[in-house]
Amino acid sequence: MAAKTRVSAKINGEQVEFLCEPRQSLLECLRDVLGLTGSKEGCNDGNCGACSVLLNGRVVNSCLVLGVEVHGQEVTTVEGLADWRGLHPLQQAFLDNAALQCGYCIPGILITSKALLDREPNPSEERIRTWLAGNLCRCTGYDKIVRAVQDAAVRLRQTGQEVNR
Amino acid sequence: MNKDKLSTAGRTDYQVVGTRPPRHDAPDKLTGRALFGPDTNLPGMLYGKMVRSPHAHARLRSIDTRHAASYPGVYAVVTAQDLQLTEESNSTLDESAVNFKYLHENMLAREKVLYVGHPVAAVAASSPHVAEEAAKLVEVQYDVLPAVTDVRAAMKPDAPLLHDRLITQSLSKPSQRPSNIASHFQHLKGDPSQGFARAEVIVEREFTTSTVHQGYIEPHACTAWWGLDGNLTVWTSTQGAFGMRDQLAKLLSHPMSRIRVIPMEVGGAFGGKLPIYIFLEAVAALLSRKANRPVKMTMTRAEVFLATNPTSGAYLKAKMGVTREGRITAAQAELYFEAGAYPSAHVIGYFGFAMAFMFAPYDIPHGQVDAYDVVVNKPRTAAYRAPGVTQVNFPAEQLIDELAVKLGMDPIAFRLKNVVREGTELMNGTTHGSIGAEEVLRAAQSSAHYGSPLHGPHRGRGVAHGYWGNWGARSCCTISVNGDGTVSLVSGSIDLSGTRTTVAMQAAEVLGLSLDRIKSSVGDTDSIGYTEMSGGSRTTFATGIAAITAAQDVVAQMRGRAALLWGVEVRDVSFERGVFTTQRGSEQQMTFSEVAGRLAETGGAVTGTGNVDPQGWGGVFGTHIVDVQVDPETGKVDILRYTAVQDVGKAVHPGYVEGQMQGGAVQGIGWGLYEGYQYNTRGDMLNPGFLGYKIPTAPDVPMIETIMVEVPGPNHPFGVRGVGEVPIVPPPAALANAIYRATGVRVTDLPMTPVRILEAMGVI
């Protein structure tokens, strides 16, 4: 076992420090070291998107990032979307549109959708589908997921609420 | 169950059933709090890892675990020697659903390995990485044998034999010599030769389908903790906690009462996490006992593809005859299913479905279906959503389409001309009950999609129609009344996609409570009565009836309490929409909450129980319409529009029914166009990942339009039918029929990849 490295990063708005082996992925660090099991492993090779997180605002597959790489960086996981005031408008839109079934892919899909809506407040159906191309869902057939993202975009535009609240 | 007891029977003025409330489990799943199979973390927990065969077919010469066992950080190593074979598990002719000898050998190989990925040993270590390193130190000597991965090759007389003593059970008679054909079944109706003699048009073709995987995004994962007190606790992602417990009890020769299975949230299953097969849990338990620590085992994606339970590929021959007026006179089929490494566990059930339901949508006077279960050097196969039926719908519905074309008839009108009704006999001798076959076809015929024009070159519209029979079986539900008038509902049904809510909605309807006053949860095997696995589209039907029964029990008990408080007879207390009333003396009323608040002074707690085994569940039909455009240069298929029409009984939560229809349709699209295991001649799977094994992504599919046709199920108080499985049945055939109409060629092999389409078109 290689010596562990100290990593300091801002995770979901909070400055944290943790120790990890150089070979541990960010996903392993989040799940096994920090106890943030919201990000899911579906393939561990970058093809399913269930582990999607925001790294400095960009969507990454956390299984393809090493834990040591996030030193000094900012990471947002699904656990960082809701706060004590309640669900994020995206999460509420998924709830209201029955856009989840088993729910395993949903953390990654929420993260990717947030990144999209942060950049494009009024995306077309095609844009939403293109952005979600890297997030596999086996239950829903994507219909209600796409509708939920469309609905969330409307809500966010109507309320003028910052997605990055 | 006594239907007369159900005060809600025949009512249509529902308060809760038919609405779209939010799910009980949604906030946890949207915020990352929900705990799935891989999310268990216990103090002192170790990580288990399987050692797997790199060969598709080999005899095990020796396994040396010494180096692995002495590797720093390793706490335990197990092989098949650690699994005690019971007398029962030595039986090769077990008539029950599961042959334990095969189950044992599939979990940890004993004499032979039969597919790449077949487990031979397992280690438990302090971290996943150490376990991985240690697994590589287990030294296994193999005598490699030739492999066979195709059903037709496996049936040849000179094919390598997977099982030296496998005797074909052919129409209940054993064969003389061992072969790879495990069994042969036949359904015969009328006189097929007479039926074909009467036919004026006959079509006949051969088809193949690939091995496909259920493709759940959550890999199999579990954690086991075998305490020194002999109590074994297993946290796992399974479709059936009780089935898992009972299998573990037999595999480990351990009392059921000493095993507690705690079901985690399940990240997709579709038949692939039925407790019929066990891959990890018993091994994790053995490792835990040896290490005296909790052990978590999580599969990689490659392990899921290589060594779980995909569903059968098949070689299929089908023939149909029809009169010039469009009446089908006879149908015949030979179905050769790949069982994978071991004979199918549910031989009769699995092939029974394919054989009985292949032609179930049509009134056909004469027919014969023969089905064969054939072992090959691939992982053992299992159920996948409407098991067996998608494979056979692909040939059946292409022949139907071909006949419609030859007769110059509209494809839906032709189907309606031969539609089944209540009392029509199936190939297996049973008869259809109350069904919605005609209603579904008529709804498809009058849909906006079917009535819309489709213009443009290389475009075509396809239709396919399919049937699935559903299931009932044992379910338990309890409802405890709280002092504030809320209730806590616990059921034994694993919630795969919203059944906590659909079950609670049915209880809410009986109790006259709003859904937010019902907390609905899934119990573990210590906390609720025996409940069958979530499969066969049974949960909203059967566990719904359990919840209705438990709610009626609550109402009956609380009427007694109200009677006590008013000093009247129980029969003088009525209950309607959450209010107890008596007309005895002066009229008096109490709400559910008011009675709930006085339980302590009237005899103690009220818990209602529903333990049911409902029969007479109704089957369902689905008709799918798809418009495609085929690129004549690349063979790529674009789906322009898709509509799923389905008989849904009573849609308890219409949003979830739509979700089942949409999700099933898109899985069927994947089966039709993209998905399939690929092998080389050595028996290595070439695409064990989501890059090579492509499932549909968001840009691959359009919105899936849904039309729900409510034909009430006959034996559920609200008319509920199972809805989850039939939507996967028609898509491959609907796509094939659309591709035919776009290109003029029939593609008879799944998946219908661009290469196969171009080959059929004669382009390459």
pLDDT value of residue B170: 81
Contact A82/B at CB under 8 A = yes
3-class DSSP assignment, residue B340: strand
Please choose, from the candidates B303, B271, B378, the residue with its C-alpha nearest in 3D space to the C-alpha of residue B128.
B303
Contact A114/B at CB under 8 A = no
Same domain, yes or no: A11 and A64:
yes
Residues B48-53 have a mean pLDDT of 98
CB atoms within 10 A of CB B27: 17
Minimal Cα–Cα distance from A133 to chain B, Å?
5
Contact status, residue B640 vs residue B631, Cβ threshold 8 Å: no
Give strand pairing partners of B336.
B315, B372
pLDDT value of residue B346: 58
Would you say residue B95 has pLDDT above 50?
no
Would you say residue B89 has pLDDT above 60?
no
Would you say residue A1 has pLDDT above 70?
no
Confidence of residue B345 (pLDDT cuts 50, 70, 90): low
Would you say residue B708 has pLDDT above 50?
yes
Same domain, yes or no: A62 and A99:
no
In a domain, A16, yes or no: yes
CB atoms within 10 A of CB B560: 17
Minimal Cα–Cα distance from B665 to chain A, Å?
7
Q: What percent of chain B has pLDDT over 70?
A: 96
Dist CA B720 CA B739 (whole Å): 35
Backbone angles phi, psi at B421, to 5 degrees: -130, 175
Residues B662-684 have a mean pLDDT of 98
Dist CA B628 CA B474 (whole Å): 43
Contact B672/A at CB under 8 A = no
Please choose, from the candidates B697, B704, B508, B652, the residue with its C-alpha nearest in 3D space to the C-alpha of residue B592.
B508
Report CB contact under 8 Å: A142, B698.
yes
Tens digits of residue pLDDT in B400-443: 999 999 999 999 999 999 999 999 999 989 999 999 999 999 99
Report CB contact under 8 Å: A95, B27.
yes
In a domain, A134, yes or no: yes
Minimal Cα–Cα distance from A93 to chain B, Å?
10
Residues B484-505 have a mean pLDDT of 98
Tell me, letter by letter, the H, E, C secondary structure of B180-241: CEEEEEEEEECCHHHHHHHCCEEEEEEEEECCECCCCCCCCEEEEEECCCCCEEEEECCCCH
Q: Domain ends where: A47, A80, A113?
A: A80
What residue in B sits closest to A145 (Cα-Cα)?
A: B698
Residues 9-68 of A with CB under 8 A from B: 21, 23-24, 28, 31-32, 35-45, 47-48, 50
Dist CA B467 CA A59 (whole Å): 42
Would you give the DSSP letter of residue A53?
A: E
Q: Which of A32, A36, A136 faces B690 most closely, judged by CB atoms? A: A136
Dist CA B221 CA B225 (whole Å): 14
Confidence of residue B9 (pLDDT cuts 50, 70, 90): very low
In a domain, A164, yes or no: no
Confidence of residue B97 (pLDDT cuts 50, 70, 90): low
Burial A76-87 (b: 16+ CB within 10 A, else e): bbbbbbbeeeeb
Report CB contact under 8 Å: A21, B300.
no
In a domain, A65, yes or no: yes
What is the number of domains present in chain A?
Answer: 2
Tens digits of residue pLDDT in B287-308: 999 999 999 999 999 999 999 9
Residues with Cβ < 8 Å from B10, sequence gap 6 or more? Answer: none
pLDDT value of residue B451: 98
Give strand pairing partners of A104.
none
Is residue B128 within a helix (H) or strand (E), and if so which, with residue range? helix B128-136
What residue in A sits closest to B72 (Cα-Cα)?
A: A1
Report CB contact under 8 Å: A144, B658.
yes
Same domain, yes or no: A98 and A40:
no
Instruction: Outline where DSSP puts E strands in B281-414.
Output: 295-298, 314-322, 328-340, 366-375
Dist CA B595 CA B601 (whole Å): 10
Contact A94/B at CB under 8 A = yes
**And the tokens for B15?**
């308060």
pLDDT value of residue B94: 37
The domain in which residue A26 lies consists of: 5-80
Minimal Cα–Cα distance from B50 to chain A, Å?
17
Q: Which of A23, A138, A144 faces B217 most closely, judged by CB atoms? A: A138
Confidence of residue A161 (pLDDT cuts 50, 70, 90): low
Same domain, yes or no: A93 and A76:
no
pLDDT value of residue B7: 43
Tens digits of residue pLDDT in B145-172: 999 999 999 999 999 999 998 988 888 7
In a domain, A165, yes or no: no
Would you say residue B13 has pLDDT above 90?
no
Q: What percent of chain A has pLDDT over 70?
A: 96
Tens digits of residue pLDDT in B604-633: 999 999 999 999 998 999 999 999 999 999
Which residues of chain A make contact with B496, given a CB cutoff of 8 A?
101-102
Contact status, residue B701 vs residue B603, Cβ threshold 8 Å: no
Burial B475-487 (b: 16+ CB within 10 A, else e): bbbbbbbbeebbb
Helix ranges, B536-600 (H): 544-566, 592-596
Please give the domain boundaries of chain B with CATH numbers for all domains: 3-34+472-612 (3.30.365.10), 388-470+617-761 (3.30.365.10)
Residues B209-237 have a mean pLDDT of 98
Same domain, yes or no: A97 and A65:
no
Confidence of residue B120 (pLDDT cuts 50, 70, 90): very high
Report CB contact under 8 Å: B663, A138.
yes
**And the tokens for B505?**
């909605």
Contact B257/A at CB under 8 A = no
CATH classification of the domain holding A58: 3.10.20.30
Residues B483-489 have a mean pLDDT of 98
3-class DSSP assignment, residue B642: strand
Same domain, yes or no: A119 and A146:
yes
Q: Name the residue with tokens 């549909």.
A: B696
Average pLDDT of chain B, as a whole number: 94
Q: Name the residue with tokens 């990654």.
A: A108
Q: Which of A41, A139, A146 faces B38 most closely, judged by CB atoms? A: A41
3-class DSSP assignment, residue B280: coil
Same domain, yes or no: A68 and A103:
no
Q: Name the residue with tokens 């944290």.
A: A16
Same domain, yes or no: A15 and A63:
yes
Tens digits of residue pLDDT in A55-67: 999 999 999 999 9
Helix ranges, A16-132 (H): 26-28, 89-96, 106-119, 125-131
Dist CA B665 CA A155 (whole Å): 29
In a domain, A31, yes or no: yes
Same domain, yes or no: A29 and A47:
yes
Report CB contact under 8 Å: A142, B666.
yes
pLDDT value of residue B87: 55
Residues with Cβ < 8 Å from B33, sequence gap 6 or more? Answer: A38, A79, B27
Please choose, from the candidates B552, B562, B549, the residue with its C-alpha nearest in 3D space to the C-alpha of residue B591.
B562
Tens digits of residue pLDDT in B242-251: 999 999 998 9
Residues B359-376 have a mean pLDDT of 97
Q: Which of B30, B41, B268 faces A102 most closely, judged by CB atoms? A: B268
Would you say residue B341 has pLDDT above 80?
yes
Classify residue B737 by burial, with Cβ atoms within 10 Å: 0-12, 13-18, 19+: buried
Q: Domain ends where: A80, A99, A134?
A: A80
**Amino acid letter, B283:** V
CATH classification of the domain holding A124: 1.10.150.120
Interface ipTM above 0.95: yes
pLDDT value of residue B607: 98
Report CB contact under 8 Å: A48, B217.
yes
In a domain, A133, yes or no: yes
**Amino acid letter, B417:** K
In a domain, A148, yes or no: yes
**Which residue, among A139, A145, A147, A150, would best test binding to B if mutated, counting the most B CBs under 10 Å from its CB?**
A139
Cβ contacts below 8 Å, chain A against chain B, sum to 191
Measure CA B602 to chain center. Answer: 45
Contact A86/B at CB under 8 A = no
Residues B572-591 have a mean pLDDT of 94
pLDDT value of residue B12: 73
Same domain, yes or no: A129 and A146:
yes
Q: What percent of chain B has pLDDT over 90?
A: 90
Would you say residue B3 has pLDDT above 60?
no
For every residue of B97-126, DSSP letters joined together read: S--HHHHHHHHS-SSEE-STT-EEEEEEES
Give strand pairing partners of B224.
B234, B295
**Rg of chain B on CA atoms, in Å:** 27
Same domain, yes or no: A54 and A120:
no
- Taking the CA atoms of B725, B727, B729 and B732 in sequence, report the sign of the dihedral they define: negative
Confidence of residue A16 (pLDDT cuts 50, 70, 90): very high
Q: Domain ends where: A80, A112, A127?
A: A80
Confidence of residue B585 (pLDDT cuts 50, 70, 90): confident
Same domain, yes or no: A132 and A94:
yes
Residues B600-605 have a mean pLDDT of 96
